[in-house]
Structure 1
Amino acid sequence: MSVFGGLMSTKVTSASIIPVLDLQPLLDGDEAGVRTLAAELKQALQDIGFFSIINHGVSWQLVEQIYEATQTLHSLPQEQKDAITMDRTHGGYLGMGAGTSYASEIAGEVRKPNQNEAFFIHEGGYREANQYPNLQGFKELTATYIQAMQGLADSLLPLLALSLDLEPDFFAKDFDEPSVTLRMSHYPVMEYSDNEWGLAPHTDSSIFTFLPVNDVPGLEVRPAGYDWVQPPVVPCSFVVNSGDMLKRWTNGKYLSTAHRASNLSKVDRYAVPFFYGARDDAVVEPVPTTVSPETPSRYEPTTYGDYQRWFIDRNYRGLTGQAAAETPP
């Protein structure tokens, strides 16, 4: 039995659960291939909420440079990192134990601080500015990476629309100025106490999250009805998951699946998830093809930005100084 949610679960290999989607038809402009890919995306999002992608068009050399920059960043003296601590409207550094997964019910009553440190860079949305470490070329490199990842995420929007039986440009107006975040995380070697993780069980607030694979695994996923499993490590691939806002946009048809992270290895672990979302004022409500007399809307309209502000205030209340309701807007 799973510790979280009381679900009966069966242990299976990750490769048999989490599909691998080949994006080559998107790059080639293969219309028939894109339709097939949209059907594969639909199945992945409504059954699992996680998938891996290959042939995505992002330079893997660039990914490796971002991982190297993440390691360099977290090797800086603590006082240099503390000097650029994040707050509600500014990106920056989040210290060890400064975040707790209050915004998700997945962890139940377990509310221990997350044992990782991270650095956030935001583009779009409500944040006023980013702060950067004094590292030569860091700002330029991260900007290049964010641009590449936003291009990848943008390319999935027509695919997402087709998977919902909508016109390919259905989401275009809500993502013309997307809200994106790069999180550069460090999970040190450590022993965890009971019910303690590098990042406690949670769901993401985004539309999509992209995580490039590396040599030190630590991500675990809990699809409905299964035990915790690790996604397959496919060379030069991204693990992608759908978040809370896509679940709302699809009236619960597409999942926002629980996951957690830790470092049980003997070397430091680094992770660079990229969170992709709509413009700050985009109204999120179930799309027409997910609502019917038999399946009425489960969610009230909200804006993408209002939900994100609630999510940040719930998880990082010590840094933002803002109290947030227990339930999202």
Structure 2
Amino acid sequence: MNNFNIYGYNSFASIQEYLEDVARRHSDIVKLQPLGNSYQGRTVKLVKISKNPNAGNPIIFIDAGIHAREWAAPAMALYIIHRLTNHPDGRRKELEGVDWYILPVVNPDGYEFTRSSKANRLWRKTRSKTSTNCLGVDGNRNYGYKWAVSGVSKDPCNKETYAGPKPFSEPETRMVRNVMMQYGQRMKLYVSLHSYGQYLVYPWGYTGDFLPKEWQKLDKMAKRVSAAVQSAGGAPFKVLSAGKWYAAAGGSDDFAFGAIGVPYSYTMELTDGYEFVFPESLLRIVLPQFYEGFKEFGTQIKREFKPMEHFRVKNTSTSDSNED
């Protein structure tokens, strides 16, 4: 893994090799679950990190890279994997009583397209063929909860917010949906990583006219996370409902919260002042700061949710396949 930089922007092939290497070196706590292929045939794998997969622990599910140009998001997801598996505190504290499921690059086709030339650097969507002339769907408008009711384009040639011909038209969003459906009963926190501004937003995203009845719990958790990042030297997050920022339907956070019933669901926008092109040289500074926020997420989830007894497997020697 000489070509992989945990504080850098890596190719999807390098990321895949890194994940395989992590799973080999830390086979006691890391399992890779293939989820399927992207539109162009790239295999997408879920990284499952757990000290005891049979314990029925609450699950924190993190995904990144649904928007191709937001390179800082996959970098953050990979750094979380690095810290959980390599740092003594990760194994001793962050993995105690909580399982972490991480999907570092949801949209690998778009990600690789943005790496192919400077002219393509700001591509946002997937790379599926949706019409005769135009490619791609905004994956974060493609989820099947209040789909297309606000903040979307119905024009396949719209480069930003085309919601697709129907909900879950994209194999990439279907894979995320399937993870949520498979593990939804144990999933207590969902975080979708993005990189535009310093925001930590929660449902509803499809409307700014009203909030879910649980909004105060969502708000309180987010502010604790923001305070942890700030204590580590980072900038505070702007905390509010996504719809109060701007209304946009079909987002993964609304789907997790509204359709699956995940009690804490957020979109985390990681960077401020650089829009989508965050300098690689600054990752070494900001990734550890943001990680303190994820430690706080883990602490709060552990405090609120206990292992689910009916998910426990009596024979603890049973293979991980029983969980799938």
Question: TM-score normalised to the size of structure 1?
Answer: 0.27
Question: TM-score normalised to the size of structure 2?
Answer: 0.27
